[in-house]
Amino acid sequence: MSDTAAMLRAYPAEINLDLAQLADVIDTVLSCSQTCTACADACLSEDAEMLPRLVTCIRTDLDCADICATTARVLSRHTGYDANITRAQLQACITACKTCGDECAAHADMHDHCRICADACRACEQACARLLTAIG
């Protein structure tokens, strides 16, 4: 549905990575960013008694949304590739997704949005970790 894989195939130079894996990681990271933005907003609409228990979750969602969005940008560029930047940003993304996944998982029983977001963060963490291994 997304153009991510087609755009990788249309890239006019060589990309030294498995394109199917790379497209999947970019889509996963981008989707995780959207889910974290939506989870922060859903937390804000919980009732007044619940809300104060969700402030850490909101903050971690906001960090994770920003870090995933930037990671998707870095992974979408191949010209003048520098492995150090990709590795460091992937590592930041893995850390943010682990922290945000743990935080959302703690509320998953009570809030569907936290359950979905916890799963998205786990999937994103794992996809980034596999790509980091593939990059070496």
d(CA 51, CA 56): 10
CB of 72 to a copy of itself, least distance (A): 6
CB of 126 to a copy of itself, least distance (A): 16
Under the criterion CB under 8 A, does residue 125 sit at the interface with a copy of itself?
no
CB of 134 to a copy of itself, least distance (A): 19
Under the criterion CB under 8 A, does residue 135 sit at the interface with a copy of itself?
no
According to CB under 8 A, which residues from 89 to 108 bind a copy of itself?
A: 89, 91-92, 94-96, 99, 103
- C-alpha dihedral, 51 to 53 to 57 to 62, nearest 10°: 40
